[in-house]
């Protein structure tokens, strides 16, 4: 276990270094710059600004400077949000996105897993068909459609729920539902197929031959085996969802990290692009390590290497 963690930390450092490097050079390949907007500043102003942020230096030099700061944990200062440290932007945006995303994923698991299991147990019967039709819709309908429909119905027409910002518990409902819809549908489909597979396994027949009740068979013998694919899916899903969804955050005006992520790219806010990308990479790596460990805890056959 200890050896496994050391190995994964080392490989994580290499991965983050590579992600940072590739992002850095790709970023400068994209035409445009942070200070070019509709009203182009004068050449002198531009030169002064570029000199101030070190953008006048050759790209490799900038790269070395950036990496030096990165090693010290400094992600730099935003070029567009004057005076704001990228570290601070992430520190304020991430908790907001993570809260919405966390609730959404918790909901997706708590609803998707039982739903998929119920569908598998009722294979071919009407209940299974209904669940699968809904799940297919959930996969097919994009989150922005879902969000808009929710907003128009419950926010505008009925006026039950607030449509903007995160002002209270009620305001979490719509963004979380919109965000959770796809993963819920995906998890229930995943769960259904893995549950069907597990239910047909020989050890389930053994469990039945022992005289175990349906409840014990399902919750002790089947669920633990069937949930493995869901755990695998949860790793990257958590990383992407916790860092926020651009679409959902825009629609519901949530000050999360997701909008910063996309916004930084369109505005060529170089340090912010780097910062959010590296943060996401870090989160994905971490989630994958956690998934591997959880996997090992669920299935003793897995060897952590």
> CA dist 245 to 9, 113, 176, 256, 272, Å?
27, 23, 11, 8, 17
Residue 84: partners with Cβ closer than 8 Å, 6 or more residues away: 77, 78
Binding mask 158-197 for another protein (x = CB under 8 A): ----------------------------------------
- The answer to the question of residue 141 lying near another protein (CB under 8 A) is no
Considering the complex, state which of residue 15 and residue 201 has its C-beta at the smaller distance from another protein. Answer: 201
208 near another protein, judged by CB under 8 A = yes
Integer Cα distance of 242 and 173 in angstroms: 16
Q: Within 10 A of 126 (CB to CB), how many other CB atoms are there?
A: 8
Question: Is position 122 an interface residue for another protein (rule: CB under 8 A)?
Answer: no
Dihedrals phi, psi of 186, to nearest 5 degrees: -65, -45
CA-to-CA distance for 240 and 99, rounded, in angstroms? 13
Min dist. Cβ of residue 207 to another protein (A): 7
Q: Near another protein by CB under 8 A, which window of 83-91, 150-158, 213-221, 240-248? A: 213-221
Taking CB under 8 A as the binding criterion, the range among 51-59, 71-79, 220-228, 245-253 that sits at the site for another protein is: 220-228
> Tokens 């780097």 correspond to what residue?
274
Q: Does 201 bind another protein (CB under 8 A)?
A: yes
- Cα 50 from Cα 71, distance rounded (Å): 23
First to last CA, the chain: 8
Both tokens assigned to 205: 């027949």
* 7 sits near another protein (criterion: CB under 8 A): no
Under the binding rule (CB under 8 A), the answer on residue 219 touching another protein is no
Closest approach of another protein to the CB of residue 299, in Å: 6
Could you say which of 29, 126, 202, 215 contacts another protein (CB under 8 A)? 202
Task: Tell the residue number behind the tokens 């790793």, with chain if given.
Answer: 235
Those residues whose C-beta lies under 8 Å from the C-beta of residue 196, and which sit 6 or more positions away, are: 120, 123
Contact flags string 279-298 toward another protein, x per CB under 8 A: -------------------x
Is residue 209 within the footprint of another protein (CB under 8 A)? yes
Q: Least distance (Å) from another protein to the CB of residue 134? A: 25
Residue 126 within binding range of another protein, rule CB under 8 A: no
Interacting residues toward another protein by CB under 8 A: 201-203, 205-213, 220-221, 224-225, 298-301
């Amino acid at each position: 276990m200890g050896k496994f963690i050391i190995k994964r930390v080392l490989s994580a450092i290499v991965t983050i270094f590579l992600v940072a490097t590739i992002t850095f050079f790709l970023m400068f390949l994209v035409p445009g710059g942070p200070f070019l907007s509709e009203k182009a500043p004068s050449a002198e102003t531009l030169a002064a600004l570029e000199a101030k942020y070190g953008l006048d230096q050759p790209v490799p030099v900038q790269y070395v400077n950036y990496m030096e700061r990165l090693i010290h944990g400094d992600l730099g200062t935003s070029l567009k949000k004057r005076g704001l440290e990228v570290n601070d932007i992430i520190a304020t945006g991430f908790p907001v996105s993570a809260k919405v995303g966390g609730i959404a994923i918790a909901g997706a698991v708590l609803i998707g897993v039982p739903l998929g299991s119920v569908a598998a147990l009722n294979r071919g019967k009407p209940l299974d068909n209904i669940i699968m039709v809904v799940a297919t819709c959930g996969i097919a309908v994009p989150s922005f459609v879902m969000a808009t429909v929710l907003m128009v119905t419950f926010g505008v027409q009925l006026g039950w729920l607030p449509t903007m910002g995160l002002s209270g518990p009620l305001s979490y409902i719509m963004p979380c539902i919109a965000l959770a819809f796809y993963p819920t549908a995906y998890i229930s489909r995943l769960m259904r197929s893995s549950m069907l597979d597990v239910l047909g396994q020989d050890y389930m027949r053994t469990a039945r031959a022992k005289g175990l009740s349906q409840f014990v068979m399902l919750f002790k013998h089947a669920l633990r085996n069937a949930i493995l694919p869901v755990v695998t899916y949860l790793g990257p899903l958590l990383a992407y969802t916790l860092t926020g969804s651009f679409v959902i955050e825009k629609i519901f005006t949530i000050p999360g990290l997701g909008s910063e992520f996309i916004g930084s790219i369109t505005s060529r806010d170089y340090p912010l692009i780097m910062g959010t990308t590296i943060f996401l990479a870090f989160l994905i790596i971490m989630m994958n390590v956690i998934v591997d460990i959880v996997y090992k805890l669920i299935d003793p056959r897995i060897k952590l290497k």
